[in-house]
Structure 1
Amino acid sequence: MTQSKPSGLQPRTLAAQALGWEEPETHGVVTPIHVATTYIRDPDNQYRNGFVYGRPDNQTVKQAEAVLAMLEEGKEAMVLGSGMSAATAVIMALPAGAHIIAPTIMYWALRNWLMNDAPTYGYTTSFVDTADLAAVKAAVQPGKTKLIWLETPSNPLWTLADIAAISEIAHAAGAICAVDSTVATPVFTRPLTLGADIVMHAATKYLNGHSDVVAGALVTREANDFWAKVRRVRSMHGQILGPFEAFLLMRGMRTLHVRAEAQAKAALSLAEKLKAHPLVADVLYPGLTTHPQHALAVRQMQGGFSGMLSIRVKAGEQAAVSTAARVAVWKRATSLGGVESLIEHRASIEGAGSPCPTDLLRLSVGIEAVDDLYADIDRALRGAND
């Protein structure tokens, strides 16, 4: 049940109230978790209520998808069992023999999959610097390139790709442009409004925001034939999200704007402080005016620059590892986007072949007091250099 709402409400209002849904029996402000795995047929064997079986059909899942589609200004959304499920569902909907263009610097697990697993399905990938429009255009293989995959800001160097310009390159080649916008979130960037065809999120991160759900999400600009193929991949490969996880994801999205804005504000403050730190060689954060792509960030990211940044430790790899070992407030853990701040030495996590600099620490800024976070990493940096 949904109450009628005044027109013209802002996305943060609609998200906070989960589009106005109520529990129909008690009128509770939180809807129940729908756990049914099968549904009653009509007497003539039809399913006029639209629900057939629990794998592709679940009301809790559909409610989370409706909120997400609204946030991204898309036509339809689908949630999946993980960010990797979401990304690979798009790729596996491509025709056999398709060529893909992807960033040199990107989420390491998907990069690894594209390098080692995608070829077994007949796909080839060219990895390019997607901050370089000429390089992207040069990588297009006429008649073969079917997907340009972007990640912006890209993990963990936080370089940007010009979504509007690269979408035009993709479309001129008859390809799809898909954007991993996990870090930007729909609060700061809405790729579909810039020309992209599909936006992807590792919903485990900012959309959920509480480090207690593994989920992925896709939103499309058009409900076209390719989208139908992606939906079929999700269904036939069982890449579903359970109703309880969808319920928790919905809970997270209701506070997304508050969290994302607070985290971006804190990240900018930390970036400015750490930029002046005597033991830090560089701070990678597009919100800094000194960032080489700051102008693009201002144009493409409205209202904030995310809660992610990286620092390069002046004394090198061992000092970086030692800094991460000495923190007390920051948590040494993989992932990002939660309310708790995380620190990680990415090169050692990614292993051999990682393009990540060995002196780099990735920081996911939570909602703690900025002064506490800065004091903690300052103490750790100085201790690592004693």
Structure 2
Amino acid sequence: MTRHDDRSRENRFKTLAVGAVENATRHENGRTSDVVPPLHLSTTFEWASGEDGNEHDYSRESNPTRAALEKQLALLEGGEHGLAFASGLAAISTTMLSLVPPGGHLVSSDSIYSGTEKLLTELVAGHFGVDVEFVDARNPENVAAAVDSDTDLIWAESPTNPLMQLCDIRAIADIAQDYDIPFGVDSTFASPYFQAPLELGADIVVHSTTKYLNGHSDSIGGAVITDDDGISEQLAFAQRIGLGNMLSPFDCYLVARGIKTLPARMEHHEENAMAVARLLEGHDRVARVHYPGLESHPQHDLAVEQMSGYSGMLSFEFDGSLTEIEAFVEGLKIFTPGASLGGVESLVEVPSLMIPDEVSHGSTTADIPENLVRLSVGIEDVDDLCGDLRSALP
């Protein structure tokens, strides 16, 4: 695995992931400190005034379990403020609708998750009249050419779903700073363990906690982390009062549980994905592999520069017909056909077969090849995973 020479953040991260958040709760008989953050399912809390006043009163506005998770999310990303949402798209939509006014201007990378693309084209642009401009963000000059003093938000995804494209986060952050424009990055594919957008200059980082943060495919959620007090206040108001789309206490509990093993899982995901990527790259029925950890990836140098690892997501272009791809998927025994990603189990998805109405995970100018196969490489035995692929490939 290729990593930065400075491992201080990685070591610190592992400690934070296991549990550096204060988990204590108050009871009538004093103070207890739970090793595992407690699950508070109560919708309401006894009201008290004065010095005895409690921090939480109604769970839509604040809940101890959610507060603990939000603090931990902020710590993992090196930010000041964390907010937990009901889904990744809830986190993204709240960010966009809070920061971009009706009739405003938003610049987005053109290779993005299909849900984000539909949100931008059908709701943000279609309903609120926002001028949404898609650009190939692999070249920062394209972003610079699209923004002006009236731009309200720059949005990017890195690595992208499913083409594994990167954007130069630091370069785009410099552009955003020149115009005093908020810059948000969806860093779900990298996870906080392998990429720190705030440290690279972004103002906002978003995750679908459904994926690597939870890691066990049993919780839907999203997160926004920022250093900006004003942005945090806007999003918190929208989350708790304006839209009411916060993460439930039980899902917060599941995400917090998953975070404890995030570093160990991510290292295993990456190790397995690298082996799978090299296997596929050398197979005569694979035309091209998209994985930033490979030297053949056109942005490999950028990946080395701004990521501390390459995660467990990759895609490849199958050299064959859709019928042959379907037979390949049916021949897999360990990789399960299914949507989503980032769990401990390995998944395979063929957009043109499984989501034909979309044809791709991003239907803007970033065309997705019909023969594209996306893999979420899990943490099973690497020899079993590679053997599964060899057996299924014609």
State the partner residue of 2:128.
121
Give 1:269 shift: 1.1
State the partner residue of 1:333. 338
CA contact (8 A) 1:41 1:47 kept: no
User: What are the Cα deviations for residues 315-363 of structure 1, in whole angstroms up to 9, with x where unaligned?
Assistant: 1333223212221110101000000000000233162463321101000
Shift of residue 278, structure 1, vs aligned partner: 1.1
95-104 vs 23-32, which moves further: 23-32
User: Is the counterpart of residue 56 in structure 1 residue 61 in structure 2?
Assistant: yes
Please, which of 138, 142, 165 is the counterpart of residue 159 of structure 1? 165
Q: 1:53 to 1:22 in 2, by over 3 A?
A: closer
* In structure 2, C-alpha distance between the alignment counterparts of 1:364 and 1:128, rounded to whole Å: 26
Whether contact under 8 Å (2:37, 2:68) holds in the other structure is no
Structure 1 residues 22 and 48: CA distance shift in structure 2, 3 A: closer
Residue matched to 2:4: none
Instruction: Give the conservation status (yes or no) of the 8 Å contact 2:351–2:359.
Output: no
Report what 1:88 is aligned to.
Answer: 93
Choose from 15, 20, 23 the match for 1:21.
23
Deviations 1:163-215 (A, max 9, x none): 01001112222311000000111111100000000000000000000000000
1:139 is aligned, of 146, 160, 163, to: 146
CA distances 1:33-74 after superposition (whole Å, capped 9, x unpaired): 112212233347x98422232102000001111111111000
Question: Could you tell me which residue of structure 1 aligns to residue 379 of structure 2?
Answer: 367
Distance 1:28 1:232 in 2: 30
**Helix, strand or coil at the partner of 2:238:** helix
- Following the alignment from structure 2 to structure 1, what is the Cα–Cα distance between the partners of residues 211 and 143? 28
Letter in 2 for 1:287: G
Shift of 1:138: 1.3
- What is the aligned counterpart of 2:111 among 105, 108, 129? 105
* 1:250 aligned onto 2:256: yes
Aligned to 1:230: 235
Q: Which residue of 2 aligns with 1:357?
A: 369
Contact 1:14 1:20 in 2 (8 A): no
Q: What is the aligned partner in structure 2 of residue 270 from structure 1?
A: 276
Contact 1:65–1:78 (CA<8 Å) still a contact in 2?
A: yes
Task: Note if contact 2:190-2:311 (Cα within 8 Å) is conserved in structure 1.
Answer: yes
**Structure 1 Cα separation of the partners of residues 52 and 340 of structure 2:** 41
Equivalent position of 2:196 in the other structure: 190
Alpha-carbon shift at residue 306 of structure 1 (Å)? 0.7
CA deviation digits over 1:287-332, x for unaligned, max 9?
0011110000000001x10100001101133322321222111010
Provide the C-alpha distance between the structure 1 equivalents of 2:36 and 2:223, rounded to a whole number of angstroms. 22
Change (3 A) 1:380 1:227: same
- Of residues 155, 176, 179 in structure 2, which corresponds to 1:173? 179
1:6-45 to 2 correspondence within 5 Å?
10-19=12-21, 21=23, 27-43=33-49
> Displaced runs of 4+ in structure 1, greater than 6 A?
23-26
Q: Residue type of the partner of 1:319?
A: E
Distance 1:237 1:257 in 2: 33
What is the aligned partner in structure 1 of residue 82 from structure 2?
77
Structure 1 residues 316, 169: closer, same or farther in 2, change over 3 A? Answer: farther
Within 1, Cα distance between the matches of 2:105 and 2:219?
Answer: 32
Q: 1:157 aligns to what SS in structure 2?
A: coil
> For residues 245 and 207 of structure 2, what CA distance do their matches in structure 1 show?
15
Structure scoring higher RCO (CA < 8 A, sep ≥ 6) equals 2
> Number of residue pairs matched?
371
Deviation at 1:9, TM superposition (A): 7.1
Q: Using a 3 Å threshold, how does the CA distance of structure 1 residues 353 and 343 change in structure 2: closer, same or farther?
A: closer
Partner of 1:208: 214
Instruction: Report if the CA contact (8 A) 1:22-1:30 is conserved.
Output: no
Query: 2:356 and 2:235 mapped to 1: Cα distance?
Result: 29
Aligned residue number for residue 4 of structure 1: none
Question: Normalization by structure 2: what TM-score?
Answer: 0.90
Partners of 1:289 and 1:295 in 2: CA distance: 8
Residue in structure 2 matched with residue 130 of structure 1 by the alignment = 137
Paired with 1:12 and 1:330, the residues of 2 have a C-alpha distance of 28
- Percent of matched pairs sharing the same residue: 40
Distance 1:154 1:49, change over 3 A: same
Whether contact under 8 Å (1:18, 1:254) holds in the other structure is no
RMSD value, Cα: 1.9
Aligned equivalents of 2:315, 2:359: Cα separation in 1: 19
Say whether the 8 Å CA contact 1:344–1:362 is kept in structure 2: yes
